[in-house]
Structure 1
Amino acid sequence: MRIAHVLNHTERLNGHVHAAVDLACAQAALGHEVSVVSRGGSFDALLKANGVETIQIDQRRRPLVALTAAVELTKLMRRFDIAHAHMMTSALLCYPACKIAGVPLVTTVHNAFERSSIAMAVGTRVIAVSAAVARLMKERGVPASRLRVVLNGTIGSRRHADLSEPPIALGSPSILSVGGLHPRKGIPDLLKAFEIVNATIHGARLHIVGEGPYGAQYRSIAAAMPCASSITFHGPQEDPRPWFKGADVFVFPSHAEPAGLVLSEACEAGCAIVASNVDGIPEMLDDGRAGILVPPKNPALLAKALIELLTTPNALAEGKKHALANRYRMSLDRVVRETLDVYNECLPAYVPGAVKV
């Protein structure tokens, strides 16, 4: 199959890009002819090393740039059997190009909490990264007949090929957070919760990996807390898995989260998990069997869950075991297989129940 993944860029900035890169590399490994169309970025070398063609088309939201991109995409799409858009601008630019070329367009909705995500409804099929995202898109008017759910999963990603890297020494008891430093991720809630935990559990430490526009503000908040010496901001890390391996508990206190990729990385490392019971997080954690779910925006209950996990005999070991068991649901192989099924639905020769391409 000739597949074109279309996105704004290939920089190491967000889950949209990571998911698209994972998918492209894995599809190429299966023998498909795969191209990534973007303005380029830091993942281009990895894509080329995995047999994925990179095609540079600037898709920024500037009138002349967008018009040029639309023309170039229209010429390009005739080369492919399927186009797969992962960002809103790319989807809107691909839609007329695919119509003219007669190529089905598949879109993936990553951030349904953004109202503008309705733009992804232009797809022949619209992939939601969790059932929660699918429900929201259906409420916004996307027909169920065009919606398909492919739950996120990263285990087996070519982005992290080396599994032998040793754990980061974080000590014990250690609590880890990995993600962007902005309000949606709930870092202020985590800081408040950790203040309670630190006052209860001697030696508890909080490690925060990631960066974002609110990084300076969150560091300032932490510096003014009584437990400031027990909180460390480590900045962004290219591969978070050694951090998961070195931590006792991974905390994911998001206020909104379609299906965070870091949850599958935490499961792969066998790190016990406490996360917000919101959006796609329960699905990623097998409805709470692979991690403890707490209400979002509630530092007191988050602290209570962490204290119980860290002080109840065998609770931490059980939490790690259940997270590790969930890794089979989080495989990239499953994501690729289910995505190819969606592609096949869009092709003229598709027969339900037949052997897939």
Structure 2
Amino acid sequence: MRILHILNHTRRLNGHVHAAVDLACAQVRLGHQVYVASEGGDFDALLQANGIQTLLISHKRKAPSLIKALLALSSYIKKFNIDIVHAHMMTSAVIAFPICKLRRIPLITTVHNEFEKSATLMGLGTRVIAVSDVVGASMRRRGVAPSKLKVVLNGTIGSSRAEGRSEEPKVLRSPSILFVGGLHPRKGVPDLFNAFETVHRSFSSAHLYIVGDGPFREEYKKAAATLQSASAITFVGSTRDPYPYMLGADIFVLPSHADPAPLVLSEAREAGCAIVGSSVDGIPQLLEHGEAGLLVPPNDPDALAETLSHLLESPDRIADWRRKSQLRIERLMIERVAKETLEVYHSAIPRAKAVALAT
């Protein structure tokens, strides 16, 4: 099958980029011809190393740029005889929709950021993939027909991005609590600061590590500096690979207010962390609804502090939740994601063509 993924860019900054890159590389390993059209970025070299041709399509939301994007996409589809177009963001879907209609090619859309109002436009797809059950339910409420909506739970274990990464744990001050993610309000970092302030009063040896960057980094650093626990909080900043920090951490925390299906939980579970996550969006599903990680209400620093304290009271509890993180972890393999996505593709292709592709 000849597959064209279209997304706004291939920079490391966004989770949807990681998911699209992981999927594209996994599809190549399954024997398919894959192309990625975007404005380019950090992952282009990795894509090319995996036999994926990268193509240029502007995603600027201005009429002249959109017209050029439409013409470019039409040209690529014709030149490479594309069977499936897979759009990963709203602008990508809007660009792809008329060309796919004109050329009678199925358009698959993946809803990565369901919390955005524009996610409704992902319903333009012939098939719409939701990255978790909660996202699927939300898209049904937005009017996407159940007949064309499929849930393919995010997973990233075994991805090409992980090849050659360091397996050496970072040496962290123990007991260590780790957050990895973008520094903006949706991730609930201020809640974590407030919870850690409470925790630190009883567990003065605990240390909090913040890995990641974002528009609120300086604001969060100033807020942390006012806390009595300030000396026990380390801002690591952005890193190419946070996995060694996960390997070295005792507890991984994701206190998000909204998070459709964060890939970082796959990585934290793979690293064997004891995990605490907020019970919002796709987080419970990725944590086996509390069997593979502890769940706390979002926007509730007191509940988060209580759960962290419960773990820190006993190293045996942390060890127990480390073991529990491995429960049914095979569900988070990228190969499973790729195979389920291909099933969605086949369901969207006219029967005669599907038979031809299978033979």
2:280 maps to 1:278: yes
Match of residue 149 from structure 1:
151
CA contact (8 A) 2:3 2:86 kept: yes
2:226 maps to 1:224: yes
Identity of aligned residues (%): 54
Q: Deviations over 1:54-86 (max 9, x none)?
A: 111112212211111012212222320000000
CA 1:356–1:251: 2 relative to 1, 3 Å? farther
Structural mapping, 1:1-357, within 5 Å: 1-78=1-78, 79-162=81-164, 164-312=166-314, 314-349=316-351
Deviation at 1:19, TM superposition (A): 0.4
CA contact (8 A) 1:77 1:103 kept: no
Q: TM-score, normalised by structure 2?
A: 0.96
SS at match of 1:325: coil
Deviation at 1:312, TM superposition (A): 3.2
Q: Deviations over 1:62-119 (max 9, x none)?
A: 2211111012212222320000000100000000011111110000000111111001
CA 1:76–1:313: 2 relative to 1, 3 Å? closer
CA contact (8 A) 1:74 1:96 kept: no
SS at match of 1:314: helix
The CA RMSD measured in Å over matched residues stands at 1.7
SS at match of 1:297: coil
Deviation at 1:329, TM superposition (A): 1.5
Question: Counterpart amino acid of 2:127?
Answer: R
Q: Distance in 2 between matches of 1:279 and 1:194?
A: 23
Q: Deviations over 1:226-258 (max 9, x none)?
A: 110000000011111101000000000000110
Q: Deviations over 1:5-30 (max 9, x none)?
A: 00111111111100000011111122
Q: Distance in 2 between matches of 1:322 and 1:146?
A: 35
CA contact (8 A) 1:266 1:273 kept: yes
Q: TM-score, normalised by structure 1?
A: 0.97
SS at match of 2:295: strand
CA contact (8 A) 2:291 2:327 kept: no
SS at match of 1:37: strand
Q: Distance in 1 between matches of 2:21 and 2:354?
A: 28
Question: Counterpart amino acid of 1:99?
Answer: K
Deviation at 1:224, TM superposition (A): 0.8
Q: Distance in 2 between matches of 1:164 and 1:61?
A: 39
CA contact (8 A) 2:127 2:149 kept: yes
Q: Distance in 1 between matches of 2:260 and 2:39?
A: 25
Question: Counterpart amino acid of 2:19?
Answer: A
Deviation at 1:349, TM superposition (A): 2.4
SS at match of 1:113: coil
Q: Distance in 2 between matches of 1:234 and 1:142?
A: 41
Q: Distance in 1 between matches of 2:241 and 2:324?
A: 23
Q: Deviations over 1:163-219 (max 9, x none)?
A: 553000112100000000000000000000000111111300000000000000000
Q: Distance in 2 between matches of 1:312 and 1:280?
A: 28
CA contact (8 A) 2:165 2:241 kept: no
Gaps of 5+ in 2: none
Q: Distance in 1 between matches of 2:265 and 2:284?
A: 10
Aligned length: 357
Q: Distance in 1 between matches of 2:161 and 2:62?
A: 31
Q: Distance in 1 between matches of 2:227 and 2:20?
A: 39
Question: Counterpart amino acid of 1:120?
Answer: M
